[in-house]
Structure formats: structure tokens, C-alpha cells
Structure 1
Amino acid sequence: MNDSAAIGAQAESSLPGLLGIADGIIARIESVMLAVGVLLMAGNTIANVVGRFVFMKSIYFSEELNSILIVLITFAGISYAARHGRHIRMSAIFDNLPVPARRATMVLIAFVTAIFMFGLCWYAASYVMTLAGRGRVLPALQIPVWWMYAWVPMGFFMTSLQYALTGFKNLISRDVWLSTLVPEGYEEETGHG
């Protein structure tokens, strides 16, 4: 199987029906946000360096644009990390449990984390609304400051959905899943298998 086919197969959801469709939509949104964010940030940084050292003039809005892109990449990245089972976990006790207990524990962890991520989404959305009400704008770009932080509740919401889908995946599966794409185990996580 070539690399592009492997990537396509990995990105497809293993969930049935509407859950699989939702999972696929979230995966596409994450991919686009991360790819566009990283490419724009790289392009902006390169253009600013060339401008500074070749033309002796920086791009006046470069720092603000990169700040916006860092927020976008960070909060799209938490959902992406959850999708690929890449969050830090402490598993000394978990690894020694029998499979049914590990699966039940993973269901609990996934749903509790989903609830906390949704709570953070709610508070972040409230904060963004407060910023919107103040009417502040970024000095160089002259766009509302709240646009910069609008990615925060979106990232928390997508992460919440990802953990909820992981909980459902563990409910309907006989195996233990770290995410909708990643089965529990160290071979898959390290790439040695």
C-alpha cells in the first residue's frame, strides 16, 4: 500500500453510521485547519524574513498574523492529538487491568474528558463574546481581537466531540481504543510493530 492510500485508510472513521460521518467531517476540518494554518504561518514568516533582509522592510502585520495562526494551530491540534491518541497518559495501573476493565475505564475517561472539554468550550465562547462586546481591534490588521480567539472554543468543541466519539467507540467495540483511529497498545503508538 502506498503512502497516500495508507493515509486515506487511516483517516477513514471506524465508527458506524452517523457517528462515522461526524468523525469524518471533524477529521477533514482538523486537517484543513492545521494544513492551512501551518502553510500560512510558514509563508508569512518566510516573506517577512525576505522582506526584512532583502528589502530592509518588515511586513507590518506579520507578528499579529502569526499570533492568530498559532492560536488556530494549537486549538485545532488538540482535537487532532485526541483523534490520533497522542495525549499524555499515565497507564501504570491501566495497563495491568483486564481488557473489560480497561475498556470500561477508557469509556469513563473519554466521556469525562469530553464533558470537561465542552465546559472549556462554553467558558471560552463566553470569553470570546466578552471580547466581541468590547470592540477592540488588532493594531496592525485592524480586525476585531475576538476573531483571533474564536478558534479556542471551536478547538475545545471539536476535542469534546472527539473524546465523546472515542467513548462510543469503546462502548461498541470488544477492544480498547485510545481514539476512534488508534487501538490501545504500544506497538501502534511507537510505529514499531
Structure 2
Amino acid sequence: MEPRSVPFKLLGKVDGIICKIEVFILSWGIIAMAVNTIANVFGRYVFHQSIYFSEELNEFLIVIITFMGLGYATRKGIHIRMSAIYDALPKKMRKILMILITIMTATMMAILTWYAVEYVAKVASRGRVTPALQVPLYLTYIWVVIGLALATLQYLLTALRNLNLAEEEIYVSYLEVDSYEDPETAAAVARFVEKEEGAVK
């Protein structure tokens, strides 16, 4: 399978759309949490009255950020890895091991997704609501299902991307090549070096 083939192009587009949605949710989730916390502190110390739903809203946002962040971290290949044995292997063996690791992890994530779906369905059937905002409690936990499902998808995409054993690169995610250097930091450093070289000229 060549990276530039039609299936990979299609998967790349779908992955790109999901990435934009994740970034949007994570960005606004963090902003909302910051605004909510600041407003609550301001209300407590200036008006001597806390926002009654502030703590509950922050708990809700933490769940969203944590589990949407799971899929995002997997996509960027920035999750924690124990790689002492992996690093000692030849490149081809590392690629095969990466395929096995990602398939096993995807399987575990899929199992967790299934259990999370069952739990959310059970909570929804009981009709429980949150104490302050009075919203259905299952809406809080549904983000766990979404996050785990997205992580499952990302690990499957990583396994698929590594199936071409003739290709030298080993991918830790669908787009990110195995490296100890953070790609975003590397890009920022490269821009800085280019800028400095341009200034010298």
C-alpha cells in the first residue's frame, strides 16, 4: 500500500476532519474551563457569591478534555511509550512490533469502548441528572465513549500505515514518523533557524 494511494488519501482526509473537530472541542473546552474558573473566583471574592454550577461544569469539561485529548495524543504520537526492548531491535522488527502493539492496543481500546457504551446506556436508562445543571448524567459519560472510539480508530490507522514493510519509515500514528523529537518543536526550531539565516544574509 503506497501512502499516496486513493485509500490513504481518503483516510487522510477523514483523519484531518476528525483532527479539526478534536482541536476545536479541546481548545474551546480549555477556554470555557478557564473562563468558568476565573468567573467563579471573581464572584466569590468580589460579590461573595460563587457560581452554583461552576464545579459541576468544570468536572464535565475535564471529562471532555481528557477523553478527546486521548484521541488527539494518539494521532500526534505523543503518548508515553516504554521502548527499551523496541529500540534495541532492527528496524524491520521494530515495524512488525509496532503493528502488533497498535493492533493489541486498538483491541483493548475497542473493548473499553464497548464497556463504556454499556455503562452509558445503563446510566441513561436510569434517567439520572446532575445536581446543579439538571442535565442528563449520561451526557457527561458519553465523551468517554467518543474518546475511546477515536483512540481505537487512531491505533487501527497506525497499524494500517505500517503494513507496508518495504517502506523504511515507522509510524507511531497515521501521520507521525517514529522519532524522539517532537514534530511541532522540530518545525518551530527549523523556522527559527531559517529566520536567523535570513537575517545573517
Whether these two folds match at TM > 0.5 is: yes
1:21 equivalent to 2:13? Answer yes
What does residue range 1-193 of structure 1 map to in structure 2 within 5 Å? 16-172=8-164, 173-188=167-182, 191=185
Cα-to-partner distance string for 1:108-146 (whole Å, 9 max, x where unaligned): 111111111111111101100000011111111011111
Q: Conserved in 2, the CA contact under 8 Å of 1:182 and 1:188?
A: no
What is the CA-CA distance between 1:191 and the residue it aligns to? 4.1
Report how far residue 164 of structure 1 moved. 0.7
* CA–CA distance in structure 2, aligned partners of residues 21 and 70 of structure 1: 28
Distance 2:47 2:34 in 1: 19
Q: TM-score, normalised by structure 1?
A: 0.87
Aligned to 2:194: none
Amino acid at match of 2:125: G
How many angstroms apart in 2 are the aligned matches of 1:77 and 1:136? 26
Q: Give how far 1:190 is off.
A: 9.4
Q: What CA distance in whole angstroms lies between the structure 2 residues aligned with 1:21 and 1:147?
A: 28
SS in structure 1 of the partner of residue 10 of structure 2 = helix
Could you tell me how far 1:189 is from its partner in structure 2? 6.3
Q: Structure 2: state its 5+ residue gaps.
A: 1-6, 190-201
Identity across matched positions, percent: 51
**8 Å Cα contact 1:84/1:179 also seen in 2:** yes
Shift of 1:83: 1.1
**Counterpart-to-counterpart distance in 1, 2:54 and 2:134:** 13
- Alpha-carbon contact 1:79-1:158 (below 8 Å) kept: yes
In 2, are the aligned partners of 1:23 and 1:165 still within 8 Å (CA)?
A: no
Larger radius of gyration: 2
Decide which moves more: 17-26 or 33-42: 17-26
- Structure 2 letter corresponding to 1:27: C
Q: Which amino acid aligns with 2:157?
A: L
The structure with higher relative contact order (CA 8 Å, sep 6+) is 1
Task: For structure 1, list consecutive stretches of 5 or more residues without a partner in the other structure.
Answer: 1-14
Give the partner amino acid of 1:102.
R
